[in-house]
Amino acid sequence: MDRALAGRVSGVVANVERVIFGKHHEIELALVALICRGHILVEDVPGTGKTVLAKALARSLGCSFRRIQFTPDLLPSDVTGVSIFNQRTSAFEFRPGPVMTQIVLADEINRATPKTQSALLESMEEHQVTVDGTTYQLPDPFLVMATQNPIEYEGTFPLPEAQLDRFFMRIQLGYPKEREEIAILDAQRIVHPLETIEQVMSADELLQAQAQVREIHIADSVKAYVVDIVTATRSHPDVYLGASPRGSLALSRAAQAYAAMNGRDYVLPDDVKALAAPTLSHRLILQPQARLKDLAATTVVAEILASVPVEAAPQSVRA
């Protein structure tokens, strides 16, 4: 990725930080997913800025934005759109649903029934929707940012493993620190800072970044390190089902984007370590005894990173 484009991407991070305080790394992760054409699952308690993050990203990039509030009575056609018969023309007309936009916020996705949740699968994987046998392409760039509340289980339908695997990464924003929460109070005293967010990068520039980031060099030793980490998830005693090759692809591509955002044209093992938890933890199914011990998947990934050795890899120069 050329330096000018990398600077624009860094400008998006700084722009979003005007609204989301003290979450630099989490905002970087969201940009990494966007540059890798991946989708994000934001799992956190209400009021931590999940919706604001999605809106701030859309405004910073000049992308169209729609929010879908998932509820138990939401139908698949409420997401994808519906064909309506026009009596004047005696033909069916397609009325696009809210998914036909560039950045989609699927709010509280686990409140909808599995049938409605699955309506998002085709759009996330194929960047298209099919209604009444007709396929419609989604705009480019396209990002689904889904949110769910990790502590509320009544009236919810947990996402199946196959659908969790479709998300490029899972992000947790968490509560702000005391001084950051004071800054939030000051920033919103008169007007919400989201109203003052301006576009700092165009959608076309984002598409350029998506194309260029795949050219970032990954040495064979770093590729082997990625595969070793993913393989270790399949043999860990606390893991029932480890990450698939899709996890390996996500981790390597995320490392490429992270390296580019940090001004490098090569990937370091440290890039892989920084992105292993958000790209792999939601892809692991833990053993029943691990769940009884309240063991988190992120803890398992941390144990794997501590145990898997890093082979000789480029530290400061491109291989």
Residues 289 and 301 in one domain: yes
Which of 172, 199, 215 marks a domain boundary?
Answer: 215
Residues 206 and 222 in one domain: no
Find the domain containing 108 and state its range.
1-215
Long-range contacts of 232-235 (CB under 8 A, 24+ apart): 232/304, 232/307, 232/308, 233/280, 233/283, 233/284, 233/300, 233/301, 233/304
Which of 160, 188, 215 marks a domain boundary?
Answer: 215
Residues 238 and 191 in one domain: no
Place 157 in a pLDDT band, splitting at 50, 70 and 90. confident
Both structure tokens of 181: 């929460």
Residues 184 and 313 in one domain: no
Position 3 scores a pLDDT of 76
> For position 5, which CATH number holds?
3.40.50.300
Q: Are 236 and 290 in contact (CB under 8 A)?
A: no
Residues 203 and 236 in one domain: no
Report the domain count for the chain: 2
Residue pLDDT, tens place only, 52-64: 899 999 999 999 9
Residues 294 and 304 in one domain: yes
Given a cut of 90, whether residue 247 has pLDDT beyond it is: yes
Residues 172 and 89 in one domain: yes
Residues 47 and 160 in one domain: yes
Residues 80 and 100 in one domain: yes
Residues 203 and 221 in one domain: no
H or E element, residue 263: none
Residue pLDDT, tens place only, 184-238: 888 888 778 788 888 999 989 999 999 989 899 999 999 999 999 999 999 999 9
The percentage of residues in the chain with a pLDDT greater than 70, rounded to a whole number, is 96
Place 92 in a pLDDT band, splitting at 50, 70 and 90. confident
Position 251 scores a pLDDT of 96
Between 94-103, 148-157, 178-187, 251-260, the lowest mean confidence (pLDDT) is in 148-157
Which of 173, 199, 215 marks a domain boundary?
Answer: 215
Residues 180 and 231 in one domain: no
Neighbours of 69 (CB within 10 A): 13
Query: Which residues, including other chains, have CB under 8 Å from residue 96's CB and lie 6 or more apart?
Result: 81, 136
Residue pLDDT, tens place only, 103-120: 999 998 988 888 888 888
Residues 52 and 135 in one domain: yes
Position 155 scores a pLDDT of 66
pTM of the complete model? 0.87
43 alpha carbon, distance to own chain's centre: 11
